[in-house]
Amino acid sequence: MGLSKQFILAVFRIVTGAVFRVHDAELERVPLHGPLILVANHVNILEIPVIYSCLQPRDLHGLVLSTRWRNPLLAWGLTVSGSIPLERGGINLDAMRRAVDILKAGGMIIIAPEGTRSGSGILQAGHPGIVPLALKSGAPLLPVGYYGGERYRANLVRLRRTDFNLVVSRPFHLAPPVEGITREIRQQMADEIMYQLAAILPEPYRGNYADLGRATQKYLIF
């Protein structure tokens, strides 16, 4: 591990340790080797350093909006941590190729299908961008959820740490639909992925995916 990465990890652990009490026992379910797509909810910015540092020594690569590279210091940190720049909207072929290459080399990618921070931790609608990556790479998907950390600002005012809980599901693959892939089917597949994420979160956080009875698992292979 290079000095730059060691420095970033040290900063991540100091900051997150001061803000949170991290409950990460379920991360033991994350395989130590092999390609993997982590499917996560997106609550706030601090979840990234938490899971990045907790999963070490496994490298974790995230898809991050390219606008974050406008800040030189942030750009340095993102590059050192192996982040992949993602353009808002558009096709993002270069980002897709890089992510597929990482997965085919046995790496790990984390994606938040919601595409934007919720702030509350309550699940928003998932976008289908994760579907072509999963199908093209053939990598398994593993839902990892966070909850509790959304309260950190109120607790910081009181000089209290916040319980940050991580929950992990079981891995699965996407099954290529025999009828071909349309926009509607891509969204259905994305929703099925999101239902798997919702199932491991406490009920108040399930949001758009609160009705777990609607999950068909038609395109999932366990």
6 three-class SS? helix
User: Global pTM?
Assistant: 0.94
- Domain ranges in the chain? 3-221
pLDDT of 91 = 65
How far apart CA 97 and CA 60 sit, in angstroms, is 16
DSSP symbol at 54:
H
Residue range 47-78, pLDDT digits in tens: 999 999 999 999 899 998 888 899 988 889 88
User: Is 3.40.1130.10 the CATH classification of the domain at 3-221?
Assistant: yes
Residue range 95-139, pLDDT digits in tens: 999 999 999 999 999 999 998 899 999 999 999 999 999 999 999
Q: How many CA atoms lie within 13 A of 48 on its CB side?
A: 19
For residue 109, which of 41, 53, 35, 10 has the smallest C-alpha distance?
A: 35
**Sign of CA pseudo-dihedral 180, 181, 185, 189:** positive
Which of 32-46, 145-159, 176-190 is predicted with the least confidence, judged by mean pLDDT? 176-190
> Average of pLDDT values for 87-93?
74
How far apart CA 197 and CA 178 sit, in angstroms, is 25
pLDDT of 88 = 74
